Amino acid sequence: MTFRKWDIIRFALSKQINSLKDFREILFSYNETYRNKWNLYGLAFYANQIIDQDDRPKLLQTMGRIAKLALELPELIPHPIPLMKQGQPSVLTLSQMQIACLLANAFFCTFPRRNDTRRNAEYGTYPSIHFNRLFAGNKDRECEGPQIAKLHGIFHYFEQVTNTRPTGHVTFHRQVVPNVELPDWKVLLDTPLCGMGVRSDGMIEDEGKDMVQVDFANKMIGGGVLGHVSRSEYIGKTCNSIAASQGAVQEEIRFIINPELIVTRLFVEELDDNESLSMIGAQRFSNYRGYASTFEWAGPHVDQLPKDNQGRIKTEIVGIDAVRFPPNQVDDQYRRNYLIRELNKAYCGFVQSIVTCHERPPQIATGNWGCGAFNGDKQLKALIQLIATAAARRDLVYFTFGDAKFADDLRGLYQSLKAMDVSAGTVLSVVTLTILRGLIYQAYTGQLYDWVAKYNADVVRKFDGPDMTLFDYVTERLTNG
């Protein structure tokens, strides 16, 4: 950022904010090109229609304090933040106040050359960081549902960090596993099956507090956390694609309740197939309820987790991005190349980070990764993750988010595999390309891809819908040879 540009921003942010009109004029004083392109209807609706009238002065005061926090940039960030580029393993630790200052500047859209989000732009391979889309309104100049929850969460975060300055640190680790170090999925015959627990109750961020918690990420980290989508769009036929790009599904919700994660969008380039992003020490500020169109902010959260010797809250989150399969290409996930891709991606997230906050390798807390908005088959994704944890030699806790039947099915399949002593190299050798090679039934040697292909041909394609689940089919094939 040039000194002249910063002088303009500093002059603007030094002004009083007594109304949303003042905020608008500040924002466009150094973003003049976007005066007629951006709208702030969502923020205006939130301020005038959603929050109580008595709380409106408090909202404006908070915006003023965010501006003051943004002005601390030269003191808190004396040197440029290094970019965490694709293909380059890197570690970056920031103080919580440095992150708060960077997010305050994102709130006021001050970062140079970050408004152009086209693919061929200078930062086209980085996520958007400015908050302008979160402030925008829908076609009726309103905001609703998830957007309201996001604004509640963001303003609550800034209220907290401007009232009581946090003193901890957060570490970000871009983990790159060279292709030559990825498992050879065809030779896992002697790899034992890892331990696995299955829970239909609880949430990753709550019951997984002593584990490495999986963020069902987008390759542009944070996904649609700074976007918005209307309730009517959510329930329309384009729900999945909208939710994936603008909504409030697992990753976006996590970034709202732990807002310090949002800063990754400033410096983390899109993830490649052999990369993951570990985020260690992010404080949780909010509670929530619901999901997607029902996502709601549910009040403050007091994070009481201990800190490690580096001053980081002992929360370790790892982002791994699954492949999104369009509705008309869902069958592609059973193809050999996609199975390998997802196995490799899960493995990249499950190998222990060099900057972990845990004294010994903890369990992996995961769930229906790549399902929902990304149209993944949850049974297939569960098997993929089970195999990847075996390769990474980590135990797994799988959360089914209230789906008791799926929990029973997965638990039953896993127990069968263990009971039949399909030890390591078996279930696992397993779901991979050479999947479950001798799994439960050691006399049987096959490939996961073959089973899935046969399942597709024998069951799915012959009927309007499958008569048995993938779990049932795998069990039957193994048991009956």
Residue 291 known to bind ligand: yes
Report the pLDDT value the prediction gives residue 473, as an integer from 0 to 100: 59
- Which tens digits make up the pLDDT trace of 290-318? 999 999 999 999 999 999 999 999 999 99
Q: What is the mean pLDDT of residues 31-43?
A: 96
Q: In the structure, what pLDDT confidence band is assigned to residue 160 with cuts at 50, 70 and 90? A: very high
pLDDT of residue 336: 75
159, 253 contact by CB (below 8 A): no
Of the candidates 159, 205, 215, 275, the residue annotated as catalytic is 215
pLDDT at 436: 36
Measured distance CA(426)–CA(442) in Å, rounded? 7
441 labelled as ligand-binding? no
With a cut of 80, say whether residue 339 has pLDDT above it: yes
| pLDDT over threshold 90, residue 335 | no
pLDDT tier at 481, thresholds 50, 70, 90: low
Contact status, residue 288 vs residue 257, Cβ threshold 8 Å: yes
Query: Distance (Å, rounded) from C-alpha 144 to C-alpha 318?
Result: 30
Query: Quick one: pLDDT band at residue 478, thresholds 50, 70, 90?
Result: low
Q: What confidence category does residue 458 fall into, taking pLDDT thresholds of 50, 70 and 90?
A: low
Q: Note the pTM of the prediction, 2 decimals.
A: 0.89
5 pLDDT above the threshold of 50: yes
* pLDDT at 443 > cutoff 80: no
- Domain ranges in the chain are 3-173+195-402
Confidence grade of residue 56 (pLDDT, cut at 50, 70, 90): very high
Task: Tell whether 46 is in a known binding site.
Answer: no
What is the side-by-side order of every strand in the sheet holding 396-399?
Answer: 90-95, 169-176, 275-280, 316-321, 212-217, 364-366, 396-399, 196-199
Q: How far apart are CA 59 and CA 155, in angstroms?
A: 8
Q: What share of the chain is helix, strand, coil (3-state, %, to 5)?
A: 45, 10, 45
Chain centroid to Cα 179, Å, comes to: 24
The predicted-structure confidence for 124-148, as pLDDT tens digits, reads as follows 999 999 999 999 998 888 888 999 9
Instruction: Please give the Cα distance from 15 to 11 (Å, whole number).
Output: 7
Confirm whether 215 is a catalytic residue: yes
Position 408 pLDDT exceeds 70:
yes
Query: Is there a catalytic annotation at residue 159?
Result: no
Give the helix ranges, DSSP H, for 132-268: 132-135, 145-163, 204-207, 231-234, 239-246, 250-257, 264-267
Q: Which of 252, 260, 342, 409 is catalytic?
A: 252
- Residue 470: pLDDT over 90: no
